[in-house]
Amino acid sequence: MPTRVCAEDELELGEAFKVIIDGVPVALVKDSAGNCFALGDTCSHGDISLSEGFVEGDEIECWAHGGKFELATGAPRALPVSDPVPVYPLTIVDGDVYVDVT
Ligand code: FES
């Protein structure tokens, strides 16, 4: 069931921020082109919050060791990460952002 997490205009271009949805840590990301994504916030390489990392193009980079993930799929893009992070369906309805972590 989708949960409303914020208004779309609260997401800043090229930034990520962490929310907890039904106990699940999620990184909400708006890339520099304005596309929005919801990924698991915990890096697959360690207990690090991805939302504290860097959004670059279609990727987010973990600050700890430089591992990168594709925003759209959560797929690993750069070592040392080799496992993906989950991605969650994100919809925008009437200016509000909804994410489904179920
Ligand atoms: Fe994220 Fe190592 S903890 S790359």
Q: Is 65 in the pocket of ligand 1 (CB under 6 A)?
A: yes
Is residue 33 very low, low, confident or very high in pLDDT (cuts 50, 70, 90)?
very high
Give the pTM: 0.95
Spatial distance between the Cα atoms of 34 and 78, rounded to a whole number of angstroms: 23
Check residue 98 and give its pLDDT: 98
Q: b/e per residue, 18-28, with b = 16+ CB within 10 A?
A: ebebeebbbbb
ipTM of the complex: 0.99
Tell me the Ramachandran region of residue 63: left when phi exceeds 0, alpha when psi lies from -120 to 50, beta otherwise: alpha
Check residue 17 and give its pLDDT: 95
Check residue 4 and give its pLDDT: 97
CATH T-level fold of 3-99: Rieske Iron-sulfur Protein (2.102.10)
- Best of 65, 69, 79 to mutate for ligand 1, by most ligand atoms within 8 A of CB? 65
Q: Which atom of ligand 1 is nearest to the CA of 48?
A: 3
Predicted confidence (pLDDT) per residue in 15-31, tens digit: 999 999 999 999 999 99
Domain map of the chain by residue range? 3-99
Q: Determine the distance separating the centroid of ligand 1 and the alpha carbon of 88, expressed in angstroms.
A: 20
Q: Whose CA is nearest to atom 3 of ligand 1?
A: 46
Residue in the block written with tokens 């919801």? 38
Spatial distance between the Cα atoms of 92 and 80, rounded to a whole number of angstroms: 33
Spatial distance between the Cα atoms of 51 and 53, rounded to a whole number of angstroms: 5
Predicted confidence (pLDDT) per residue in 76-98, tens digit: 999 999 999 999 999 999 999 99
Q: Is 49 in the pocket of ligand 1 (CB under 6 A)?
A: no
Q: Is 36 in the pocket of ligand 1 (CB under 6 A)?
A: no
Spatial distance between the Cα atoms of 13 and 15, rounded to a whole number of angstroms: 6
